């Protein structure tokens, strides 16, 4: 996308673009940093291949941010920093459709805070845990039935596993022969796939409004205080399990190496970071969790890591059609890091359960 001025002219801001650049490391949408008359914004092109109905996505985000804004104001907070603020189009919509049928949206840029790809300080991860816990608490009274489900079965690990089996059977990219070790790893753990799904279906674990993509780089960390300021990337907010959010946070944040690290000796779950997140999360939301949710916290970290690994592997086998890649084997490298993390968590499961028990 080159003509930023043409795109932003449809939004309710005045002026010419003085600075524009690709922003962030997201796997799905195209994100740009935009400066107009000294004011800063985030411009995104929504990935229609992933999100089939962008208007539904934006409807969810409008409802969620409106609810969060009211709660933040009532608590004496700063709604300009503590939640995303949509920049509407000149005809009052939360998105613009270009002549090429691309969907664009804009948010106000949050000043004095940034995202990180890896945790640089344990206190940051502790604060991130509190922020994700606060997100849960603020949305605890939001009616989940008002939200669309942007990606059905997003964290249904049973369905993700079935998708992997189909990708293996179809072998569209002719890669199955080269990844037998990874396939065997995934198949050997298939009994884990239905654990949380069955608990949700039985009602033992409640459905809540959840973020469903709680990677560490989806939270803005204050430059001065190191506190979690704002949860971003709300595309997958929908009914789900609180354990999805907890588990995915552990998966992404406790690994000190890159998500596509080739040297697997560098990939492991950092115990200090795990404990910091458990402590912060339970301090904020623990009193609202059920005994079953607390019991399965450690398991959920392993399950979300395993699920992400089989998603990367599925995409690799299908020819890299979902996640963005910057080199041909990136999804396979991502798969291997996730599976190495799973192995490390399996060795540490008793320790992880002990940490949860101590802080719960």
Rounded to whole angstroms, the Cα distance separating 65 from 57 reads 12
First to last CA, the chain: 49
Q: For residue range 106-146, what is the model confidence (pLDDT) as tens digits?
A: 999 999 999 988 898 899 999 999 999 999 999 999 998 89
List all residues 6 or more positions away from 343 whose beta carbon is below 8 Å from its beta carbon: none
103 burial (CB, 10 Å; 0-12 / 13-18 / 19+) is: buried
How large is the average pLDDT for residues 61-68?
Answer: 97
pTM of the model: 0.90
| Domains detected in the chain | 4-111 (3.30.200.20), 122-359 (3.90.1200.10)
Burial 271-306 (b: 16+ CB within 10 A, else e): eebbbbbbbbbbebbbeebeeebbbbbbbbbbbbbb
Condensed to tens digits (0 to 9), the pLDDT of residues 3-59 reads 788 898 999 998 888 888 887 776 678 999 999 988 999 999 999 888 899 999 999
Q: pLDDT band for 2, please (50, 70, 90 cuts).
A: low
Q: Is the pLDDT of residue 186 over 60?
A: yes
234-270 pLDDT, tens digit each: 999 999 999 999 999 999 999 999 999 999 999 999 9
DSSP labels for 46-69? Answer: --TTT-S-HHHHHHHHHHHHHHHH
Q: pLDDT per residue over 262-314, tens digit each?
A: 999 999 999 999 999 999 999 999 999 999 999 999 999 999 999 999 999 99
Give me the mean pLDDT over the 54-83 stretch. 96
For residue 119, which of 245, 274, 244 has the smallest C-alpha distance? 274
CB of 21 closer than 8 Å to CB of 32:
yes
């Amino acid at each position: 996308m080159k003509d930023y001025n043409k795109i932003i002219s449809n939004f309710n801001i005045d002026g010419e673009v003085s600075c524009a650049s690709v922003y962030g490391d997201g796997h799905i949408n195209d994100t740009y940093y935009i400066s107009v008359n000294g004011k800063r914004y985030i411009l995104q092109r929504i990935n229609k291949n992933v999100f089939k109905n962008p208007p539904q996505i934006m409807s969810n985000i409008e409802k969620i941010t409106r609810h969060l804004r009211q709660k933040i104001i009532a608590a004496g907070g700063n709604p300009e920093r503590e939640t995303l603020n949509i920049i509407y189009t000149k005809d009052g919509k939360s998105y613009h459709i270009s002549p090429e049928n691309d969907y664009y949206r804009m948010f106000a840029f949050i000043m004095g805070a940034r995202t990180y790809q890896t945790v640089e300080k344990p206190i940051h991860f502790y604060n991130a845990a509190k922020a994700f816990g606060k997100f849960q608490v603020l949305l605890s009274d939001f009616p989940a039935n008002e939200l669309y489900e942007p990606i059905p079965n997003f964290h249904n690990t049973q369905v993700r596993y079935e998708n992997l089996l189909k990708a293996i059977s179809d072998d569209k990219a002719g890669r199955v022969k080269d990844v037998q070790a990874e396939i065997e790893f995934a198949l050997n753990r298939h009994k884990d796939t239905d654990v949380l799904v069955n608990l949700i279906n039985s009602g033992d674990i409640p459905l809540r409004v959840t973020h469903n993509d709680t990677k560490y780089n989806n939270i803005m960390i204050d430059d001065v205080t190191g506190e979690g300021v704002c949860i971003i990337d709300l595309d997958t907010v929908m009914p789900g399990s609180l354990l999805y959010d907890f588990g995915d946070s552990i998966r992404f944040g406790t690994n000190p190496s890159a998500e596509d690290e080739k040297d697997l000796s560098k990939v492991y779950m950092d115990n200090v970071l795990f404990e910091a997140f458990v402590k912060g999360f339970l301090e904020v939301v623990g009193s609202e969790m059920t005994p079953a949710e607390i019991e399965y916290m450690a398991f959920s970290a392993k399950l979300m890591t395993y699920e992400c690994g089989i998603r990367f592997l599925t995409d690799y086998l299908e020819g890299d059609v979902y996640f963005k890649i910057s080199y041909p084997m990136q999804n396979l490298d991502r798969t291997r890091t996730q599976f190495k993390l799973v192995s490390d968590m399996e060795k540490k499961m008793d320790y992880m359960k002990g940490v949860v028990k101590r802080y719960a």
